[in-house]
Chains A and B, each alone.
Chain A
Amino acid sequence: MIYFDNAGTTKVDNECMAILERYCLENYFNPSALYRQSVEVKKDLKRARQEIVSALRGDGEIIFTSGGTESANMAVFGVTKRKGSRIIISKSEHAAVKNSALKLREIGFEVVECDVDIYGRVDEKKFISLVNENTSFVSIMHVNNETGGINDIKRLNAIAKSVNKDIIFHSDGVQAIGKIPVNLRDLGVDLYSMSAHKIHSPKGVGAIYLKEGVRINPIMHGGGQELGIRPSTENIPAIMCFSLMLKKMVKDLSKNLEKVSKIKDFIQKNIDESIIKILTDENCSPYIISLALKDVRGEVMLHSLEKYGIMIGTGSACSSSKKNTDHWQLPYLSQSYKNGKIRISFSHENTVEQADYFINKLNLEYSTLKRYT
């Protein structure tokens, strides 16, 4: 089996199993209860929170959530914004941000979408022209989930704040943490969303980072957990895995980057560019490579590779069941490439040999499918 869909989700790391066992079978206590055993769990939770903040060089709080989508929703809906004010997002945001922001438009906010390049990166000039005094909230993703395009969040945040210092800047860091260097103090963002299952932890846990002094309103109501901002009994087993894996991924960051870069380079060098367009450049995450096939549908290629045990993605798994006719990337692709997008995304567990096998089968299947288009 060759798993090349790591931007969709990742295999849970073996080290998580012991943690899961410990917090499911032994220390399963509710951290909000009052007996000693619960207080111990609460301390562990506190430690996990601090470890995540410090791994990302932050100076504020971590609120645990159910995942990236919930974190993004909390940012978009939880920030206090002036009625009718301007909200800026990029055209290539993940559906979690995009659809939430579009909801805000329905209730009277002026939601504007900033143009992006073919890799999903914000066009800085356009961005400057959009930020105004009336802007209250900006959400720009750190690493694009389809292409790996990396936005210069530090710069965009500075631009926004220079126009209006009260702007709250959120960035979706789901594809960034543990994979590219993230220094939250340096980025300067107010809010930052993340997800555990993209870094070899179990699904069902994510977090939102709140810079020191930044507060958001809860979008769910209940008990007082997570500073009252995200009430619900914490998913301790998965949170403990999240913190462990983030630490580990940050520690191994350079080593892993070197490894996946080799795989990506290999694919880039060996793709037949007369039939397959490579949608990546040096400012994209080495963990993702986006390709567009000429005259062959991406989904059909995905299924064809299934029979060799090769798993890849098309666009974003979260929206792959929808027909996307107004996708941000379409204007950059000529007609014969528009339906042909596939996404190959790596983990440190992948190898160059796997990439070699993949290229081989990709070419083989391409020639079969091309015959019947």
Chain B
Amino acid sequence: MENIILIRIGEIFLKGSNKRFFENRLLNNIKKSLYRIKCKIVKAHNRCFIENFQPSDQEEIVYRLKKVFGIHSISPAIKIPTDFEGIKQAALSISPTQGFFRVTVNRADKRIVKRSMDIAAEIGAFILKQKPNLKVNLFEYDFEINVDIREEGFSYIFCEKIAGQGGLPVGCSGKGMLLLSGGIDSPVAGYKIAKRGVELFAVHFYSYPYTSENAKEKVIDLAKKLSEYAGEITLFVVPFTEIQYQIKEKCPISYLIAIMRRFMVRIAEKLAEKNGCGAIITGESLGQVASQTMESINSTNSVIKMPVFRPLIGYDKIEIIDIAKNIGTYDLSILPFEDCCTVFTPQDPVIRPKLEEVQKIESVLDVNKLVDDAVNGVETIVCRS
């Protein structure tokens, strides 16, 4: 009898010939997430197992697996060589002493002649005899004892089925460059897109001396929090003050945000290209602020070729906040440190900038030089949980 953890994989089982690629990614990510825990990861059909771990590590393993994308559900289980006496004893050992229960048997090993229903009834009867305060109810039960009889001669007995994150293993959909401001939305956008299998890089615009070391530290903490789900994130901190100064000095203040956004995506695209990313990811939600109208988004989009993914475009703020609270980024995001967008904020920003107008206004700036200088001044920070 051995304690193991059974992992059921999510959407990957729908994949065809490239399934192995997805599975290998997932196994690799599981391995990384269980960093510094002594255990063995075993691959099987549409599932995998964690074995050979210290019983005291079980809770920590489950806690970490709950954050790995591509896992559908997790069950701490007992593994034994298939033998009815052993199965009965194992089932008894995990059953409580009172309440309603049912036994469900899944018999993949067809060499066993007895039908699943009969085996379940037999185990149920055995448990009832030992624990007379229990009652069987097949439909309204407090707990379900599952017995999974596999072909390779082993059976797994478990009670709990803990929901995983779902989604696709990080890395199997390529790499993306996330614009990480320090606000509530961008970490959620990163989470959403990582859930679709994207490995994340992040870029943060830093306006020293208008924003502080505290603001930078906050963004690093956010990236670390996000990395609990998305795996290691390389964060690029871009010096942005000079660009803001130049815009402030040479362009009408009401266009400051519109032009700033254009610089941000240009810089993000450059960094994305350097790092093999296929897309830029932003936390924009349509209509939330002045820079998130269709016209503003168009003005921003038109300066780059790379696709921009906006996973939150159709989300309400309240929906975004709910996710942020769930993944633990909310409390960090609301820490009151200035970010580059709140510096020099004009009283009345242009809400629907006309593209030709923005281009004309921007033409007084040496865009290429400013972008190159910013990219050259980047500070790189590797963030992992």
Q: Do A and B originate from a single complex?
A: yes
Contact residues of A with B, CB < 8 Å?
297, 299-304, 306-307, 321-323, 369, 371-372
Complex CA distance for A301 and B208, rounded to whole angstroms: 10
- Beyond A304-B209, A321-B214, list 9 extra A-B contacts (CB 8 Å): A299-B212, A302-B209, A303-B208, A307-B209, A321-B336, A369-B209, A372-B245, A372-B248, A372-B249
B212–A303 CB distance below 8 A: yes
Chain B residues positioned under 8 Å from A297 (CB to CB) = 210
Interface size on B, residues (CB 8 A): 15
**B53, CB-defined interface residue at 8 Å:** no
Residue of B nearest to A365 (CB): B209
A321–B337 CB distance below 8 A: yes
Contact residues of B with A, CB < 8 Å?
208-212, 214, 244-245, 248-249, 335-338, 344
Complex CA distance for A193 and B271, rounded to whole angstroms: 54
Complex CA distance for A369 and B208, rounded to whole angstroms: 12
Complex CA distance for A303 and B337, rounded to whole angstroms: 13
Chain A residues positioned under 8 Å from B208 (CB to CB) = 303
A321-B336, A322-B336 are known contacts. Are A372 and B344 too (CB-CB below 8 A)? Answer: yes
Residue of A nearest to B244 (CB): A372
Chain B residues positioned under 8 Å from A323 (CB to CB) = 336
Chain A residues positioned under 8 Å from B338 (CB to CB) = 299
Cβ-closest 6 pairs across A and B? A303-B209, A304-B209, A300-B209, A372-B248, A300-B210, A303-B212
Closest Cβ of chain A: how far from B334's Cβ, in Å?
11
**For A300, A302, A306, A323, which residue has the most chain B Cβ atoms within 10 angstroms?**
A300
B249–A306 CB distance below 8 A: no
B209–A306 CB distance below 8 A: yes
Closest Cβ of chain A: how far from B228's Cβ, in Å?
25
Complex CA distance for A322 and B280, rounded to whole angstroms: 33
Residue of A nearest to B214 (CB): A321
Complex CA distance for A322 and B344, rounded to whole angstroms: 19
Residue of A nearest to B211 (CB): A303
Chain A residues positioned under 8 Å from B337 (CB to CB) = 321
List, sorted by A's number, 23 A–B pairs whose CB atoms are closer than 8 Å: A297-B210, A299-B212, A299-B338, A300-B209, A300-B210, A301-B209, A302-B209, A303-B208, A303-B209, A303-B210, A303-B211, A303-B212, A306-B209, A307-B209, A321-B214, A321-B335, A321-B336, A321-B337, A371-B249, A372-B245, A372-B248, A372-B249, A372-B344
Residue of A nearest to B343 (CB): A300
